[in-house]
Amino acid sequence: MSETSTVLVTGASTGIGAVYAQRFAQRGHDLVLVARNRERMESLATRLRSEHGVAVDIIQADLANPADLATVEARLASDSRIGVLINNAGASLPGGFADQRAEQVGNLINLNAVAVARLANAVVPRFIREGRGSIVNIGSVVGLVPEFAMSVYGATKAFVLFLSQSLNVEFGTKGLYVQAVLPAATRTEIWAHAGKDVNAMQGVMEVDELVDAALVGFDRRETVTIPPLPDAAQWDAFDAARQAMLPNFGQEHAAARYRSVN
């Protein structure tokens, strides 16, 4: 990634996406902002142009809409100035799984998982040809915690983590860097959309602190960054336990415990 690569940020009108745009503008990067709310993006773009002298383009798009998604895919595939993709756009749903309608579930999966994979898929071939490029996928610790009972949201974030790790394995030696950022509770509008009062919650991180920590991980080229986790050794142990199982998966027969009726 060159020092002046353009950065495309999805979900850029507010919250985590807007702070990412601010931080990369401070670093001197031109931007492409993608979100549904054009008015908010215009306001942010005007401020960033004035304060940091960067160029800012705007794409109004609902990434759960196939036509809008295709527009952003085309920009990523064709614009060689874009060297960083921040896959931030996402949402949650109110209520439990039994309360959520099939259409809501489908739309959430389209936004949180399908759009993330398709945007990465649009830009990776160009990054590989150029031998450089970075993708930041905003996941969530919820993808590691089924006990939170956020079934669909958590499943989409588990997908984001796996996709990020796998892309690093597949393309890390070809100039591609992929970072999965796993926030815990962060003070954004997602809580209001999910019907929860964030001000009544404990342990909520401010957006600026979350993004600044994630960027430390980005600069260090971490594969997985979990800003609220105090002890990095816990993640290392978790990942090591997973890898320790791998040699045992390739067996011709079921494990002995499954070959007994007792």
Q: Does the residue 261 lie in any domain?
A: no
Q: 101-133: per-residue pLDDT in tens?
A: 999 999 999 999 999 999 999 999 999 999 999
- For 116, the enclosing helix (H) or strand (E) is helix 115-130
Asked if the structure places residue 80 within a domain, the reply is yes
* Active-site annotation holder among 20, 153, 177, 258: 153
Q: Evaluate whether residue 217 is within a structural domain.
A: yes
Find the CATH number of the domain harbouring 108: 3.40.50.720
Q: Give me the domain span that covers residue 103.
A: 6-231
Give the per-residue pLDDT at 3.
Answer: 66
φ and ψ at residue 121, rounded to 5 degrees:
-65, -30
Lowest mean pLDDT among 86-90, 91-95, 124-128: 91-95
Number of structural domains (the chain) is 1
Counted residue by residue, the chain has a size of: 262
Query: What is the rounded distance in angstroms from the CA atom of residue 204 to the CA atom of residue 105?
Result: 26
What pTM was estimated for this model as a whole?
0.94
Is 250 a member of any domain? no
Flag whether 213 is in a domain: yes
pLDDT digits (tens, 9 = 90+) for 192-213: 666 667 777 778 899 999 999 9
For residue 27, is it within any domain? Answer: yes
Q: Give me the torsion for CA of 50, 56, 58, 64, rounded to 10°.
A: -120
20 is catalytic: no
Tell me whether residue 1 is in a domain.
Answer: no
Q: Could you tell me which residues are beta bridge partners of residue 85?
A: 8, 135
* Residue 236 maps to a domain: no
How would you class 157 by CB atoms within 10 Å of its CB: exposed for 0-12, middle for 13-18, buried for 19 or more?
buried
